[in-house]
Amino acid sequence: MKSRSWYRVALATTAGEPQLVLASGEHVGQAVAEAAKELAGSWAIAVDLATTEEIPLGESVGKGHVVRLGDAPAGLDRFKFPTGALPAVTGGVTGMREGWLERRDPHLFVVEAQVEADHIVDLYLGLIERLPSADNLEIRLLEHFDAGLATDVWLTSRVNGRKIIRFIDDHDEELFGNGHVELGVYARAQKATLRLTQHKTVAWIGEERTLATELAEWLKELKVPQVTELPAVDDGAHHHFRTANGRDRKKLADELYKHRLRKVDSIKRVDA
Secondary structure (3-state) at 140: strand
Q: State yes or no: pLDDT of 30 exceeds 80.
A: yes
- pLDDT (average), residues 130-140: 95
How far apart, in whole angstroms, are the C-alpha atoms of residue 241 and residue 237?
14
Looking at 36-172, which runs of residues are DSSP E strands?
Answer: 43-49, 66-71, 85-87, 99-103, 109-114, 136-141, 150-155
Of the listed ranges 134-143, 212-221, 226-235, 263-272, the one predicted with least confidence: 263-272
Of the listed ranges 9-13, 125-129, 154-158, 191-195, the one predicted with least confidence: 154-158
Q: State yes or no: pLDDT of 77 exceeds 50.
A: yes
Provide the greatest CA pair distance for the chain: 61
Confirm if 46 and 92 have CB atoms less than 8 A apart. Answer: yes
Amino acid in position 211: L
- pLDDT (average), residues 199-208: 97
- pLDDT (average), residues 79-105: 96
Instruction: Report the candidate in 139, 133, 201, 131 with the shortest Cα–Cα distance to residue 167.
Output: 139
- Counting every residue, how long is the chain? 272
pLDDT at 17: 93
Q: Quick one: pLDDT band at residue 59, thresholds 50, 70, 90?
A: very low
Q: State yes or no: pLDDT of 62 exceeds 70.
A: no
Whole-model pTM: value is: 0.93
**56 Cβ contact partners less than 8 Å away, ≥ 6 residues apart:** 6, 22, 65, 67
Q: State yes or no: pLDDT of 258 exceeds 90.
A: yes
Looking at 156-261, which runs of residues are DSSP E strands?
Answer: 181-187, 192-196, 202-206, 238-240
Going from the C-alpha of 92 to that of each of 136, 195, 198, 239, 267, the distances in angstroms are: 35, 23, 16, 10, 28
Q: Residue 247: count other Cβ atoms within 10 Å of its Cβ.
A: 16
Q: Is the dihedral of CA 142, 146, 150, 152 positive or negative?
A: negative
Percentage of the chain beyond pLDDT 90 is: 85
Q: Quick one: pLDDT band at residue 158, thresholds 50, 70, 90?
A: confident
Confirm if 45 and 87 have CB atoms less than 8 A apart. Answer: yes
Percent composition of the chain: helix, strand, coil (DSSP 3-state, to 5)? 25, 30, 40
Confirm if 81 and 233 have CB atoms less than 8 A apart. Answer: yes
Confirm if 42 and 81 have CB atoms less than 8 A apart. Answer: no
Instruction: Report the candidate in 83, 86, 118 with the shortest Cα–Cα distance to residue 242.
Output: 83
> How big is the CA angle at 96 (ends 119 and 73), to the nearest 5 degrees?
120
